[in-house]
Structure 1
């Protein structure tokens, strides 16, 4: 039976760990939190060893032979292990599907398999996912529909000890525009800003608290660019400019994120260990999928060029180079979000 990620989290609190789990879908926050729930349940039930398998460098798929060997090898440091398999495309291919199905036929007593996928549809399912469902659970994070978002926000508010009137909830839903990660971040900030006051939030107080949190919008702006959302980038830049935010307040985060992406792109292009570079750059698991999607849109040299353009915008801000820094920043972030917009940078240079 297919579960919602939230249903899986509830089951993990009341049942022993199963041999295998598949968590997939286009809502990265729900996938991440469900996977974290599996990890937490594993730790609570004495699973101390963890292995991660994913495509590295120029490889299109994980090392299936190494995964199969891990299934068959005894644990070195603990009696039980959590083996994680990350499939961004949701497609293990013929060899991978066979390895997963074979494991599910006779699962090793000391292994729990956790498969996560960033994409999912009925076309992705197959005998391998059905095999996981027979011995474990399959949880799919289907996109939250617009009419479902207010209810999702209300549940999230309650989990943080908050409540809000219906109009206030709708105001927050309109603000995040369907982005669950942004909604979760806003609610965390609301919990901090509300302090000990847990009276229900009305529209006026919600507007006030959201306005107090406006300084955090630079994070959402960069996320929108990295996530490939050019229309949201333009709207957010217009909003920030209207609120009187200055370009220098944005450039530090923009430059840092572009430098990170350029470093990751160099490692990926050279066939290096991307997982190690994520660790070196101190990029959390929850943000890695954002970078992976961004890296797929542009080759490594282009990320270096983006860093150079950011430097040019910074010089505009300081009056060392002619040009409108707001226009320069918008063109840069639109190019990051959409390869078609790279021509805007070329035209500006000409």
Structure 2
């Protein structure tokens, strides 16, 4: 059963036979494991066995641990890390076999990276999911991140002014671990005193972390303030400009195809299917297509081509030009900036 990390506390008493903790956010992974361990300890699980599916791993070791009597207590936790989230044929068979006869004295925790549909549709995963809890630990974004941050502010009983909250949203989006550490520090420094943005700025540096995909999503949704902040962070972190140009070209070429085919009478839903656009991303493209004209998209592609040409032929990394290109995703800015050419 899929359960999000903020709902985990409702599914710990009684414990389920297994917990599947997969994702790419270190803070969510660790806090989820800690919650399960603490609940297990309260219910008599005193011993922990840790296994990692490394090269040469013997799945018989898992079976032996499952069947072995504990030396120190009547109940034990077996934590198994799957670095690639692919147990293989032997592992799949072992996991399904063990969970077909779950033991009330053994709790299984599986951990690994973010799962693709290939893994969640596999037989071993579906078997374990039906008997336990699946926790997708992916970093929350946008409004989800704001809700997470508000919950942690309440957890630490911090008295933050609205401008300080807004600053934390900007500073730490995409980096839950740094955000949580920042709030622990604030609890020590100012446990009850109201904190405004001015005071907060003395404590912290900008710790947000972004990907090129988050940048393109912000541009498609015309969140220019967020997009410009992300671009500055990606620049500061040393992100290679060819990667950013690749991502922008990809989105602009897709927008051009969708806009052109839409102008020829093709229904947008059929185009989404043709271009294999996920349901989650359809609203992003829909709002961008409503906002931007075909001529504007063509102009942005030409501008991006010039940026790429300057980079490849002259070695010129034009971050100002890249920022300009991002601004052109806003048609209002486009009307004022489109006449500007690269030297």
Pick the aligned partner of 2:67 from 61, 64, 72: 72
TM-score by length of 2: 0.57
Pick the aligned partner of 2:167 from 156, 164, 171: 171
Structure 2, unaligned stretches of length 5 or more?
211-231, 239-343
The Cα offsets for residues 31-78 of structure 1, whole Å up to 9 and x where unpaired, read as 21111111111111111111001035xx1x643111112112222221
TM-fit CA distance, 1:120: 1.6
TM-fit CA distance, 1:234: 6.2
Rounded Cα–Cα distance in structure 2 between residues aligned with 1:63 and 1:233: 42
Q: What residue is the counterpart of 2:125 in the other structure?
A: 129
Q: What residue is the counterpart of 1:20 in the other structure?
A: 18
The question of 1:156 aligning with 2:157 is answered no
| Superposed CA RMSD | 2.8
Asked whether the 8 Å contact 2:145–2:173 carries over to 1, the reply is: no
Rounded Cα–Cα distance in structure 1 between residues aligned with 2:14 and 2:57: 28
TM-score by length of 1: 0.56
Pick the aligned partner of 2:43 from 42, 45, 60: 45
Q: Where does 1:310-321 land on structure 2 (aligned, <5 Å)?
A: none
The Cα offsets for residues 250-301 of structure 1, whole Å up to 9 and x where unpaired, read as xxxxxxxxxxxxxxxxxxxxxxxxxxxxxxxxxxxxxxxxxxxxxxxxxxxx
Q: Where does 1:135-284 land on structure 2 (aligned, <5 Å)?
A: 135-197=131-193, 199=194, 201-207=195-201, 211-213=202-204, 235=236
SS at match of 1:52: strand
The question of 1:89 aligning with 2:87 is answered no
Q: What residue is the counterpart of 1:6 in the other structure?
A: 6
Q: Which fold has the larger relative contact order, with Cα–Cα distance below 8 Å and residues 6 or more apart in sequence?
A: 1
Rounded Cα–Cα distance in structure 2 between residues aligned with 1:62 and 1:187: 40
Asked whether the 8 Å contact 1:53–1:63 carries over to 2, the reply is: no
**Larger gyration radius, structure 1 or structure 2:** 2
SS at match of 1:104: helix
Rounded Cα–Cα distance in structure 2 between residues aligned with 1:236 and 1:190: 26
List 4+ stretches of structure 1 deviating above 3 A: 231-234
TM-fit CA distance, 1:93: 1.7
The Cα offsets for residues 116-166 of structure 1, whole Å up to 9 and x where unpaired, read as 112223222122222222222111123312232222111111101114344
Q: What residue is the counterpart of 1:292 in the other structure?
A: none
Asked whether the 8 Å contact 2:28–2:138 carries over to 1, the reply is: no
TM-fit CA distance, 1:20: 1.0
Rounded Cα–Cα distance in structure 1 between residues aligned with 2:164 and 2:92: 46
Q: What residue is the counterpart of 1:108 in the other structure?
A: 103
Asked whether the 8 Å contact 2:139–2:174 carries over to 1, the reply is: no
Asked whether the 8 Å contact 1:19–1:111 carries over to 2, the reply is: yes
Q: What residue is the counterpart of 1:327 in the other structure?
A: none
1:2–1:206 Cα change, 3 Å:
same
Rounded Cα–Cα distance in structure 1 between residues aligned with 2:104 and 2:11: 21
Q: How many residues align?
A: 218
